[in-house]
Amino acid sequence: MLQFTNDAQDIAATLENLGYTVNRALDASKGEMQRAVDAFQAAASQREVEVALFYYAGHGVEHEGVNYIIPVGADINDEYELMDQGLSVERITVAMERSRAAFNMVVMDACRDNPFFTSGRSSSGRGLAAMSGRGKGSMIVFATSPGNIAADGRGRNSPFTAAFIKHAVTPGLEVSALMRQVNGTVRELTGGKQAPWFNASYTGEVYLGALKDLAGASNRISAVNGEIAALENEIAQREKAIAAARSQAEKRRLEAEQQRSRAEEAARRMQSEQLQEIALRAQETLEQQEADQFLRRQMEQQLAGQRAVLAKQAQERRARLEELKAQDGTAEGAWDQLIGITNLKTALFEVNTRFDKALSLMENEVRALYDQQVEALRENNPKEPFESQEEYEDYIAELSAEVRSRQTNELEQRREELNKTRSTETAGLSEQLAQAKAELSSSRFVLGAGSTAVKVAAFNIGDKVFPMEVSAKDGDAIAFSIPVSYSLKSGDRSALREEYYRVYSADQSGGLAGELSYRAFELYPNIWALQPEDTKVVNLLEDDAVLTRSSGSGEALLVSVSEGEPRKLTAALLLESGTGEEARLKINGKDAGSTPHLYLAASETDLGTVRAEFQWPGGDSRTYALSLQAGVNPVASATPENLKHLGMAVFSGLPTATEVKLDRTTRQAQNGLALFTLPEGRYDYRLSGPWLFESGSGNVEIAGLENPLAAINLADTGAQTAAEISLPLAAIAETLPARVSLEVRLYQNDGQEAPMRILKGSTNTLLVRAPAGQYQLALSRSDDPYNARISPIHAAGEQRTEHLIEELPLSAHTQWERAQAALDRMERQIKTRKPRTTLGVTLLGIGAAGLGTAILSSFMGQEVLNTYNNGVTPSDFSEARKAIDTWNGAFIAGTIAAGVGIVAGTVLSLGPSSSKLEIQRNSLQGKIEHYGSEYQTLLSEQPLYGRVKSATPEHLASSLSYSTVFKDGSGGVDGLSGAKFVAVSQDGKNVYVAGANEDALAVFTRNTTTGALSYSTVFKDGSGGVDGLDGAESVAVSRDGKNVYVAGFADDALAVFNRE
């Protein structure tokens, strides 16, 4: 096709403009294609290149899970010819993987309608099969989702190629963002019928246009700088001319020209600066792409908060657009959502079918391989002369068993690998399908005056009633017709006249309008019912006053979403065996399988009498003639004796393994549904299950056989689908200080705390359970009042999502506060340092003087003592004694002054010097500036960083009601006298109480499900060899739960107990 050539040429031109070296292969044969791929690989392997991009426009075919591109001139009449004449896309991806490119990108605008195999014998699918990128830096792009057909378009290019060319030239657009832009444009060009698909495996960021940005900016900088130089020269020359001007007129003219030149120079300089900034950004982009993986991770961590803010802004913007869309009456209707569900189911079916084919092909190949090995056993292991024939046969049988064992092991391994890949590929589709069904079943659709019409029939004089009919249409596919009536209720003739003309006048003047609301729910697997809920007739002449209304009236519209597009049905009738035994069933003479069975009528011609023959295991049989009406019919519950007509209650949107107890019957959900058949009445129900965040309850009413259907969605029950978030703790377990633990909170998009529960995981894992949804996950330490890490997380329903935690430091806000507090203490220390130092020096001087006095008085005292010893007369002795007393006093005083002065002076003088204190102060000021800046940056990106954690988070708070009491000496309880302290074990199985008056430790057993306590035993000081409990006043349980520790105050002891 000419369009394929246009696409290839235009893409080549676009890439060349972006700075790429392009190899073209137009209208190529298979050989030319192979040579082009080899040349492309060789070119990409000659040197280190950043990006290698392969773009194909043409026909592509999928067969048994393998994608092929079709060369020009191919003559393919059957599938086996594909391998000879088609080129496998796998060959291309392998070639690119072996190149030296840092990032490989394969783009296939080849998902066009299959031009071959039109005989009906083809097992090839529509479109291409899903592929995964090879290597760590790769992306595979399809023009439409796997299994679907891409549009050719009516212009020069296909819608996909046109969109790719449009957005590829956008500067600074990361490749994943580029593909999202392309996706949106293609959807717009095709009216939502085509959605491009890509699978990526790479780290960091990749930009297709970075080289062009850098080269273009560099060239423009050179050009602009040249213009600036010329202007500078022109300005300098004109300055000389101005100075030499002979007349004022000439001087003014030259000055005006000079002013214009200076303005132009300023503009060119500004342009040069802008171009330099562009070049710098482009250079940074290239350097970023060349950075190693560790640096990329660091950059991503720094930008995580910014991404979260941008994601939140985008989400808020989308929500606002959806609100405006609903206000404009352009919100997606039920039929559009049913189409989406059908497409998802079809895609899921096709993906599973391809995997089933791949699984079957693999099993056949493995079996054939091992069959060959078994057949070769006799040839490779001939009979030995010393063996009997029986021994030889046993030996061959033993070898054959070993081969078959290896075959079994390989089959199991390959099945596991394929099924694991299948799960990965289908998980996203399954989640989208579940979300689409939940969104549809929880929506309430309202059709207003613009979509409804009110028809008033002739007034019924006898009943004094205006019969009316409200017709409502939601698009072209959904239409309701609901009968309502308006009764004249007054007994007064004048009042009756007034009421009559109130309706008659409004009808005649077109003043009556209708409003109808309806809901959609899954009635049976792949069968949806659209059920009217409330119908109103309003009088536009009376400020839209409601004239009359009807609740829950009107037959449900039935839709099948099993294949292709949604298909409308006329009627549904559930047939069941009323004996409790399964019965074989024939309807209108045709085998219909076993009960229960949902009989569906596709058109009005199928309405009327239906003959149903029931055959029970014991041989009893009975045929009943059933009247089939449009809509959902009452359940036909048959026994050999009679037929009962029952209503049905359908619970939809239920998570896996949910149990519904209705009245005295319990059923487990199958495919998200639980169906009950029961007579008219009101019934209580309760929901429970492993994937319910809250158990749901309520009551349901079967109004009667005229309205036999009661539909209850999960949201109606008050329950929510649960999700789990797994937080591995091994990386932070060693980094957290003792007695400091991890705290987790979830915030909704409006900033409110989300309900959640902390579950016990493995030793190094914390499990968080919450309703499924989008959240901000906040992590913090128990010693930190602020959140340290906040990141967006999608908690998928019925799944466990792992969130890795590499480290958990104190929050920037807390580190800023602590640094500020330390600086305040430092300022006070510096302020008091000088007076302390002065006083210390003074005291040291006093101490030194006292020391000198003590030394002098000691020396003089010794001299006086010698004089005393050499004394002759009594007066000599008397004077010597006086002198000794004097010097002794001086010695004592000097010694005291020396001791006090030196010690006190030393204490006051000790400590860092003023210069060291200044250095420490400067360091603290630097920390304050750093943490303050970091905190302000985080706060601008995510306001939750500034929120003080609630002392009792909402998700842990609950209403408090009195349960029971245990008293010492009552009911056999002992050891609680003077109860001083309570501790609960980590696993929640035991409660320990220290009884100080009884020197005891009382032990209780706790039910981990209900929380109920029961008394177990008591340990008392001095009894049974127990010691250390005298004055027991506190209890602690070790983190690993293996020991219990009790502090005995009076014993000055710590008693240790082993916990089993």
Confidence of residue 636 (pLDDT cuts 50, 70, 90): very high
Distance between CA atoms of residues 466 and 505, nearest Å = 13
**pLDDT of amino acid 381:** 83
Handedness of CA 737, 741, 745, 751 (dihedral sign): negative
Average pLDDT over residues 70-75: 83
Amino acid at 848: A
Cβ-based neighbours of 840, under 8 Å, separated by 6 or more: 904, 905, 906, 907, 908, 909
Q: Which of 263-277, 401-415, 960-974 has the lowest mean pLDDT?
A: 263-277
Does residue 135 surpass a pLDDT of 60? Answer: no
Does residue 298 surpass a pLDDT of 50? Answer: no
pLDDT tens column, 348-367: 888 888 888 888 888 888 88
**pLDDT of amino acid 966:** 92
Using DSSP's 3-state secondary structure scheme, residue 481 falls into strand
Determine what percent of the chain is predicted with pLDDT higher than 70.
Answer: 80
**pLDDT of amino acid 258:** 56
**pLDDT of amino acid 820:** 85
Count the residues in the chain. Answer: 1060
**pLDDT of amino acid 871:** 65
Average pLDDT over residues 173-201: 85
Distance between CA atoms of residues 651 and 717, nearest Å = 9
Does residue 653 surpass a pLDDT of 80? Answer: yes
Q: Which of 225-229, 422-426, 513-517, 704-708 has the lowest mean pLDDT?
A: 225-229
Q: Who has greater pLDDT, 894 or 442?
A: 442
Confidence of residue 953 (pLDDT cuts 50, 70, 90): very low
Question: Which range has the top average pLDDT, 17-26, 247-256, 1048-1057?
Answer: 1048-1057
**pLDDT of amino acid 308:** 43
**pLDDT of amino acid 638:** 92
pTM, two decimal places: 0.49
Q: Which of 194-203, 216-225, 865-874 has the lowest mean pLDDT?
A: 216-225
**pLDDT of amino acid 984:** 92
Confidence of residue 973 (pLDDT cuts 50, 70, 90): very high
**pLDDT of amino acid 208:** 76
pLDDT tens column, 378-411: 877 888 888 888 888 888 898 889 988 988 998 8
pLDDT tens column, 444-474: 888 887 788 889 888 888 888 899 999 888 8
Bridge partners, residue 410, by sequence: none
Confidence of residue 1013 (pLDDT cuts 50, 70, 90): very high
**pLDDT of amino acid 615:** 94
Question: Which range has the top average pLDDT, 502-516, 853-867, 973-987?
Answer: 973-987
Question: Which range has the top average pLDDT, 81-90, 516-525, 851-860?
Answer: 516-525
Tell me whether the omega of the peptide bond preceding residue 525 falls within 30 degrees of 0, making it cis. no
Does residue 114 surpass a pLDDT of 60? Answer: no
Query: DSSP characters for 543-610?
Result: TTEEEEEEES-SPPEEEE-SSSS-EEESEEEEEEETTSS--EEEETTEEEEESSEEEEE-SGGG-EEE
Q: Who has greater pLDDT, 1010 or 1058?
A: 1058
Average pLDDT over residues 901-910: 66
Average pLDDT over residues 749-755: 85
Q: Which of 224-238, 565-579, 587-601, 996-1010 has the lowest mean pLDDT?
A: 224-238
pLDDT tens column, 243-262: 776 555 565 556 555 555 55
Distance between CA atoms of residues 43 and 287, nearest Å = 22
What ranges make up the beta strands (E) of 822-919?
none
Joined together, the tokens standing for residue 1047 give 């502090």
pLDDT tens column, 916-943: 777 877 888 888 888 888 888 888 888 8
Does residue 125 surpass a pLDDT of 60? Answer: no
**pLDDT of amino acid 304:** 43
Confidence of residue 307 (pLDDT cuts 50, 70, 90): very low
Q: Which of 233-237, 443-447, 775-779, 1030-1034 has the lowest mean pLDDT?
A: 233-237
Confidence of residue 834 (pLDDT cuts 50, 70, 90): low
**pLDDT of amino acid 685:** 93
pLDDT tens column, 537-568: 888 767 667 778 877 656 788 888 877 788 88
Average pLDDT over residues 299-304: 40
**pLDDT of amino acid 624:** 92
User: How many other C-beta atoms are found inside a 10 Å radius of the C-beta of residue 193?
Assistant: 15
Q: Which of 18-22, 273-277, 559-563, 642-646 has the lowest mean pLDDT?
A: 273-277
Does residue 295 surpass a pLDDT of 50? Answer: no
Cβ-based neighbours of 585, under 8 Å, separated by 6 or more: 575, 591, 592, 593, 594, 595, 597, 612, 613, 614, 615
Using DSSP's 3-state secondary structure scheme, residue 451 falls into helix
**pLDDT of amino acid 136:** 57
**pLDDT of amino acid 686:** 92
Q: Which of 551-555, 700-704, 865-869 has the lowest mean pLDDT?
A: 551-555
Confidence of residue 332 (pLDDT cuts 50, 70, 90): low
Q: Which of 355-369, 757-771, 896-910, 937-951 has the lowest mean pLDDT?
A: 896-910
**pLDDT of amino acid 319:** 44
Does residue 213 surpass a pLDDT of 60? Answer: no
| Longest Cα separation, the chain | 159
Bridge partners, residue 515, by sequence: 536
Does residue 1015 surpass a pLDDT of 90? Answer: yes
**pLDDT of amino acid 91:** 82
Q: Who has greater pLDDT, 908 or 403?
A: 403
Does residue 762 surpass a pLDDT of 70? Answer: no
Distance between CA atoms of residues 818 and 927, nearest Å = 10
Q: Considering only CA atoms, which of 473, 518, 481, 439 is closest in space to residue 711?
A: 518
Does residue 766 surpass a pLDDT of 80? Answer: yes
Q: Who has greater pLDDT, 841 or 266?
A: 841
pLDDT tens column, 146-155: 777 777 777 8
Joined together, the tokens standing for residue 716 give 């109606």
**pLDDT of amino acid 927:** 85
Distance between CA atoms of residues 416 and 423, nearest Å = 10
Query: DSSP characters for 244-288?
Result: T-SSHHHHHHHHHHHHHHHHHHHHHHHHHHHHHHHHHHHHHHHHH
